[in-house]
Amino acid sequence: MKRSSRAAWWLLSPMLAMVAVFAVYPVGRMLVLSLFAQNLETNLLPVFSGFDNFLRVAGDGHFWQTVSRTLLFAGLAVGSELALGLASALAIHHSAVGRGLARTVALVPWVLPTSALALAWIWIFNDQFGVFNDLLQRLGVLREPFPWLGRPRAAFFALVMADVWKTTPFMMLLLLAGLQTIPAQLYEAAAIDGGSRWQRFRSITLPLLRPTIFVAVVFRALQSFGIFDLVYVMTGGGPGGATETVALYTYRNFMRYLDFGYGAALLVTGSVLLMVLTGAIWLALGREGRPA
Amino acid sequence: MKAPRRLGGRPWLAVLLAWCLAPLLWQAVTSVKPDAEITALPARYWPGQLTFGHYEALFVRRPFAHYLWNSFFISSCATVLCLAVSAPAAYSLARLKPKGGQGMLALLIAISFFPALTFFFPLYELVRAAGLLNNPISLIVPYATFNLPLGVLFLRAYFRTIPAEVEEAGLMDGLSRMQVMTRLVLPLAAPGLATTAILVFIASWNEFLFALTFMPRDEARTVTVGIAGLSGGSLFELPWGLIGAAIVISVAPLLVLVAFFQRRIVEGLTQGATVD
């Protein structure tokens, strides 16, 4: 017994060492750094400053603007992905043909590098030669080309669209896997009882799919709250800061303004917000035993 | 009942195909058009004249071959390292169940919750202090680390599907725990290891933030960062043919993986959402 437990720890030790140095240490380091001023004014030397950085965060209107923008982004993106993903998962689940092909194709947007796709979208949304404008003009929606990435709201919309494009098929795959765990007998029994399609969806599919939806939504919400590469490449936070997200603003405080202590405080604040967001989603979707 | 359902699936399939592939196909079309056609108005959906000049320029005038090699080397090493570390850990958690194992799983899940941004700056300090900027090691080790949650959780679940009798028989035959693991369990878990490897490779190939920060020199860059730097400064006159070609090449290895390992990738991605 003793020997086997020693073996267990030996087998775990490389993983523990890596996690300790490269994941746990950074978290501790960020917490400590957030209590220091370390920037160009201090010649990049650390000077203890207590909670000053956090007071600055509290009064940093620009930061809170990026927070509400990022939340809006996450809400719009995850909401659309969930609606579209659920609709397409149901359609494909009930279709006898083409499931394998659908699964293969649905993986494509998800596995491809976001930075390459961001460039693809810049070209698609190009103001003069972009295919998005061309299609809208051909359909008669637009009379002349529109600078999608050159206007604040339109650029934000373009980012949401690019994100929804990439992750809807992924959402569909997750929900499809969840649908397949629902026993067919339940539907057969409901069909005998004579419930309508909508009733079956409400009383069987949705409640049994709820755990899957919860996991998928948490996962995607966390990801989109921390979104970095898509924004960095596609708009750079522009035009005029209109699409700057929390992650981009935090990164810039570190790497552009060299304000390390403040960047750390932003990061700690962002992480706390992330946990609050997770808690809120859990309250909304994750609790067990809600009436079906 | 069955027949209309069958037909009902097809328009969805067409929409899905168009949704997933159209933006990429547009890049492919752009990449083989001469410059004059790329900027033709109204847009031409089919290239009149084929050219592979953009692909040539990518390798002759830009260090794109470096980017590809860096991405391939770094992702492969990270995959091997991640598997080498997570397989024994997962085996230990699945079979030997040490005290504190549950806490360890919770820690791994917690780590996977946070975006890369949480960890990048302290690691950047370490990398700089060690003089490892532009060194592949500075990406390999973090990539392996941040894929440990995936590797350990997936492999742990996989190891648990292997019947315990197999291992008991091995122990009865006088094999040690280590030998049971390396000679009996790992070969049986080969499909699970392959799935993990594919997912780790993809995640490493696609990573952006660390690659952007730790590899400032152009020749040291990976594809994801190198491609974003192709614009050469001006946002308004980007070399679209060149970028289209770069997109096609950088996504090609992943498309090959998807084509061959679709089932495994889906299994790996969806496992966490439906089991537990």
Rounded average pLDDT over B34-40: 80
Q: Cβ contact (<8 Å) for B118 and A233? A: no
Q: How many helices (H) and strands (E) does chain A have?
A: 14, 2
Instruction: Give A 65-124 residues with CB within 8 A of chain B.
Output: 88, 91-92, 94-98, 100-124
Please say if the pLDDT value at position A235 is more than 80: yes
Q: Cβ contact (<8 Å) for B26 and A29? A: no
Please say if the pLDDT value at position B186 is more than 70: yes
Count the helix, strand and coil residues of chain A and give each as a percent rounded to the nearest 5: 75, 0, 25
Q: Which residues of A touch B117 (CB under 8 A)?
A: 226, 228, 247, 250-251, 267, 270
CATH at B76: 1.10.3720.10
> Across the strands, what pairs with A48?
A36
Contacts of A267 (CB under 8 A, 6+ apart): A30, A34, A250, B117, B118, B121
pLDDT tens digits, one per residue of A145-164: 888 998 999 999 999 999 99
Please indicate if any CB of chain B lies within 8 Å of the CB of A20: no
Per-residue pLDDT band for B7 (boundaries 50, 70, 90) equals very low
Residue B241 lies in a domain: yes
pLDDT at site A95:
74
Q: Nearest-CA residue of chain B relative to A238?
A: B235
Rounded average pLDDT over A74-87: 95
Per-residue pLDDT band for B274 (boundaries 50, 70, 90) equals low
Q: ipTM score here?
A: 0.90
Q: Cβ contact (<8 Å) for B26 and A251? A: no
- Higher confidence at residue B35 or residue A77? A77
CB pairs < 8 Å spanning A and B: 282
Contact status, residue B118 vs residue A266, Cβ threshold 8 Å: no
The structural domain count of chain B equals 1
Residue B163 lies in a domain: yes
Please indicate if any CB of chain B lies within 8 Å of the CB of A161: no
B13 closest CB neighbour out of A101, A255, A271: A101
Q: Which residues of A touch B125 (CB under 8 A)?
A: 29
| % of residues, chain B, pLDDT over 90 | 45
Residue B2 lies in a domain: no
Q: Is the dihedral of CA A141, A146, A151, A154 positive or negative?
A: positive
Contacts of B8 (CB under 8 A, 6+ apart): A91, A94, A95
Task: Compute the half-sphere exposure of residue B228: CA atoms within 13 Å on the CB side of its CA.
Answer: 25
Q: Cβ contact (<8 Å) for B250 and A116? A: yes
Distance to chain B for A142, nearest Cα, Å: 13
Per-residue pLDDT band for B3 (boundaries 50, 70, 90) equals very low
Distance to chain A for B167, nearest Cα, Å: 14
In residues, how long is chain A?
A: 292
pLDDT at site B154:
92
Q: Cβ contact (<8 Å) for A5 and B116? A: no
Q: Cβ contact (<8 Å) for A95 and B86? A: no
B117 closest CB neighbour out of A95, A173, A251: A251
Please indicate if any CB of chain B lies within 8 Å of the CB of A2: no
Q: Nearest-CA residue of chain B relative to A268?
A: B118
pLDDT at site B272:
61
Q: Which residues of A touch B111 (CB under 8 A)?
A: 19, 23
- Higher confidence at residue A235 or residue B8? A235
pLDDT at site B4:
46
Q: Which residues of B touch A282 (CB under 8 A)?
A: none
Average pLDDT score over chain A: 89
Query: Amino acid identity of A142?
Result: L
Matching residue, tokens 């019947």: B163
pLDDT tens digits, one per residue of A180-228: 888 888 777 777 777 777 888 888 888 888 888 998 999 899 999 999 9
Provide the domain limits for residue B166: 65-274
Q: What is the pTM of this model?
A: 0.91
CA–CA separation, A159 and A122 (whole Å): 10
pLDDT tens digits, one per residue of B209-250: 999 999 999 999 999 999 888 865 555 567 888 888 999 999
Per-residue pLDDT band for B99 (boundaries 50, 70, 90) equals confident
Residue B78 lies in a domain: yes
Q: Nearest-CA residue of chain B relative to A94?
A: B5
- Higher confidence at residue A60 or residue B6? A60
On the question of a cis peptide bond just before residue B253, with omega within 30 degrees of 0, the verdict is: no
Q: Nearest-CA residue of chain A relative to B14?
A: A102
Distance to chain B for A209, nearest Cα, Å: 9
Residue B5 lies in a domain: no
Please indicate if any CB of chain B lies within 8 Å of the CB of A19: yes
Contact status, residue B241 vs residue B53, Cβ threshold 8 Å: yes
Q: Nearest-CA residue of chain A relative to B240?
A: A123
CA–CA separation, A264 and A249 (whole Å): 12
Contact status, residue A254 vs residue A261, Cβ threshold 8 Å: no
Q: Which residues of A touch B8 (CB under 8 A)?
A: 91, 94-95
Per-residue pLDDT band for B92 (boundaries 50, 70, 90) equals very high
CA–CA separation, A89 and A178 (whole Å): 10
Please say if the pLDDT value at position B8 is more than 70: no
Contact status, residue B155 vs residue B192, Cβ threshold 8 Å: yes
pLDDT tens digits, one per residue of A158-191: 999 999 999 999 899 999 988 888 888 877 777 7
Per-residue pLDDT band for B130 (boundaries 50, 70, 90) equals very high
Main-chain dihedrals φ then ψ at residue A148, nearest 5 degrees: -55, -40
Rounded average pLDDT over A55-68: 95
Q: Cβ contact (<8 Å) for A105 and B17? A: yes
A3 burial (CB, 10 Å; 0-12 / 13-18 / 19+) is exposed
A75-286: CATH number: 1.10.3720.10
Rounded average pLDDT over B120-135: 95
Q: Cβ contact (<8 Å) for B228 and A168? A: no
Contact status, residue A42 vs residue A53, Cβ threshold 8 Å: no
Residue B18 lies in a domain: no
Q: Which residues of A touch B178 (CB under 8 A)?
A: 7
Residue B12 lies in a domain: no
